[in-house]
Amino acid sequence: MPIRRGILCERCRRVYFIPPSGKSARIHFDRVQGEFRLHCDPPCNGVVQFHRAALKPYSIANESRERGYADIGQCQVILRR
Ligand SMILES: [Zn+2]
């Protein structure tokens, strides 16, 4: 299964993944605040501010990788030991 770093939107329990290019239509770096900002899709429309350290590695399905996100129940966080 592919592994991607992702950030969870607590509001709708959806995890958005960072593509290998590092570019995402939904995630932007705010230079003023010095942190990243995720804009969740409708109907949630949540905004999540986070630092790079908040990204966690997830084991995900191929279709989730193509979509760029998955519900929290459809991916598995990989815990570091
Ligand atoms: Zn959301």
Any idea what the Cα angle at residue 9 is, between residues 50 and 14, rounded to 5°? 140
Taking the centre of ligand 1 as the mean of its atom positions, its distance from the CA of residue 10, in whole angstroms, is 7
What does the alpha-carbon distance between residue 6 and residue 52 come to, in Å, rounded to a whole number? 10
pLDDT value of residue 20: 85
CA geometry: angle at 61 spanning 8 and 78, to 5°?
Answer: 55
How many angstroms does the Cα of residue 78 sit away from the middle of ligand 1? 21
- The amino acid at 19: P
Distance 60 CA to ligand 1 centre (A): 18
The answer to whether 61 touches 3, Cβ cutoff 8 Å, is no
Structure pTM? 0.91
- What is the Å distance from ligand 1's center to 39 Cα? 8
Distance 12 CA to ligand 1 centre (A): 4
Number of domains the chain contains: 1
What per-residue confidence (pLDDT) applies to 7? 97
Q: Which helix (H) or strand (E) holds 63?
A: helix 62-67
| Per-residue model confidence (pLDDT) at position 39 | 97
Segments forming the whole domain that contains residue 47: 3-77
Judged against a pLDDT cut of 80, whether residue 80 lies above it is answered with no
- pLDDT for 78 equals 96
- Per residue in 5-55, pLDDT (tens digit) is 999 999 999 999 998 887 888 999 989 989 999 999 999 999 999 999 999
What is the per-residue pLDDT for 64? 95
- Residue 9 phi/psi, 5° resolution? -90, 110
Q: What is the pLDDT, as a whole number, of residue 51?
A: 95
